[in-house]
Amino acid sequence: MTNEKRLPPLLKLALELGPLALFFVANAYADRFGFAEGQRIFFATALFIGATLVALAVSYALLRKLPIMPLVSGVVVVVFGGLTLFLQDETFIKLKPTIVNTMFGAILLGGLYFRKPLLEIVLDSVFDLTEEGWRKLTLRWALFFFTLAALNEIVWRTQSTDFWVSFKVFGIMPLTIAFALAQTPLLLRHEAKKAEEA
pLDDT tens sequence across 117-136: 777 666 655 677 888 888 99
Kindly state the percentage of the chain with pLDDT values over 90. 58
Mean pLDDT value of segment 21-40: 87
Residue 34 is predicted with a pLDDT of 80
Q: What average pLDDT is seen over the chain?
A: 88
Mean pLDDT value of segment 166-194: 89
Concatenate the DSSP letters of all residues of the chain into one string.
--------HHHHHHHHHHHHHHHHHHHHHGGGGT--GGGHHHHHHHHHHHHHHHHHHHHHHHHSS--HHHHHHHHHHHHHHHHHHHHT-THHHHHHHHHHHHHHHHHHHHHHHTT--THHHHHTTT--B-HHHHHHHHHHHHHHHHHHHHHHHHHHHHS-HHHHHHHIIIIIHHHHHHHHHHTHHHHHHTBHHHHHH-
* Tens-digit pLDDT profile for residues 41-81: 999 999 999 999 999 999 999 988 888 888 889 999 999 99
Higher-confidence residue of 147 and 39: namely: 147
Which of 26-30, 43-47, 89-93, 163-167 shows the lowest per-residue confidence on average (mean pLDDT)?
Answer: 26-30
The pTM score is 0.82
Per-domain residue ranges of the chain: 9-197
Higher-confidence residue of 1 and 190: namely: 190
Residue 133 is predicted with a pLDDT of 86
Residue 17 is predicted with a pLDDT of 86
Residue 102 is predicted with a pLDDT of 97
Residue 1 is predicted with a pLDDT of 45
